[in-house]
A = this chain, B = another copy of it.
């Protein structure tokens, strides 16, 4: 029976779900803090790619004012032995090729993996061979793998797909996310060309230093897959957002005439028409140029659907929460590679995380009140 509507208890007799976090940067730290705060989950350890972090206490590293007695580990195999996790959250990279080694090690140990690497939101979009291999590896070891995040993974794909559920016909889709890069650090700002001259921006694009948004192909892959559309080609455009005003953040100052961000768009063509248009201009301090941030979805369909929100759903917080909220879904999923589009709808799985995991002994469990 529909378990969400009937389970009101959590398996208090069961051991907490042990979670290993890969990456101790901004996103890894945010996830680790959420794991600590959620009853039924146990922060079992953390693994950092930077050797210099090894041995640091995890509590201090993720911004707590106390030690956790958990040293950060550099070697993943060692981290697995020490932490014996059931689930790993990967926040170390963006590309499939960079994420793959760690994921394979985790899957071989039967660990279920949730990654926020953008290309892993739909790995088949850029590398179907690698996606099939990861699917096979996960199945062989009774493990499961999911890529998630606010974008790709939610605003420009999952939410779009969900809204098409009320449509009998869909002609085309346009989705836009206008966000503020001000909270981000130097790596993100460099990827978007913030602070460059328009000429340097174009040179950076040509040389691959300016990349814009990573995720359009994954979002398009998820939408097209869910609707059964065959996409003929995808066109991407990256243009500098040249500022007319001075914009300042803790990391960068943009003078008038310099680049405040990247207006990145992607159009997916089907049967000679633009079927999916995704627009994602990212810049620092958009409000100084009179630009409001927000998310907007417009579906040209029967019936038509339009939904928008302003400001945008915060990216960093949303990604960390999604990854942690999806833990029970992934524990309940069949072995293999999953996407957000083939699992049950996401939800804030509040209270004791174990209550959402099927197969546990729920009979002797505490109530909501005891679980929180």
Contacts and interface: CB of A to CB of B under 8 A. Distances in A.
Interface of A: 1-8, 10, 34, 37, 122, 124-125, 128, 131-132, 135, 150, 154, 158-159, 161-162, 164-170, 221-222, 225-230, 295, 301-303, 305-310, 313-314, 317-318, 320-322, 324-326, 336-352, 355-356, 367-369, 371
Given A1-B132, A303-B314, A309-B308, A168 B6 contact: no
A165 to B, nearest CB: 3
B225 A6 contact: yes
B165 A346 contact: yes
23 contacts: A1-B132, A1-B135, A1-B336, A1-B337, A2-B342, A4-B341, A5-B339, A8-B228, A10-B228, A34-B168, A150-B166, A161-B345, A167-B348, A168-B317, A168-B324, A170-B348, A226-B347, A228-B371, A301-B348, A303-B313, A305-B313, A340-B345, A345-B345
A306 B317 contact: no
Contacts of A313: 166, 303, 305
B344 A317 contact: no
Contacts of A1: 124, 131-132, 135, 336-337
Contacts of A222: 4-5
Contacts of A162: 158-159, 162, 345-347
A44 to B, nearest CB: 19
Contact of A339 (B2, B228, B356): B2
Secondary structure of the A side of the interface? mixed
A310 B306 contact: yes
Contact of A350 (B6, B158, B169, B348): B169
A113 to B, nearest CB: 14
A161 B4 CA distance: 11
B128 A6 contact: yes
Contacts of A169: 348, 350
A198 to B, nearest CB: 33
A338 B344 CA distance: 11
A4 B345 contact: no
Contact of A158 (B3, B345, B349): B345
Contact of A309 (B2, B128, B307, B369): B307
B347 A124 contact: no
Contacts of A367: 230
Nearest to A1: B135
A122 B161 contact: no
Contacts of A368: 228-230
A228 B303 contact: no
Closest 5 CB pairs of A and B: A165-B346, A5-B225, A166-B318, A1-B135, A2-B339
Given A227-B348, A228-B355, A229-B368, A5 B165 contact: no
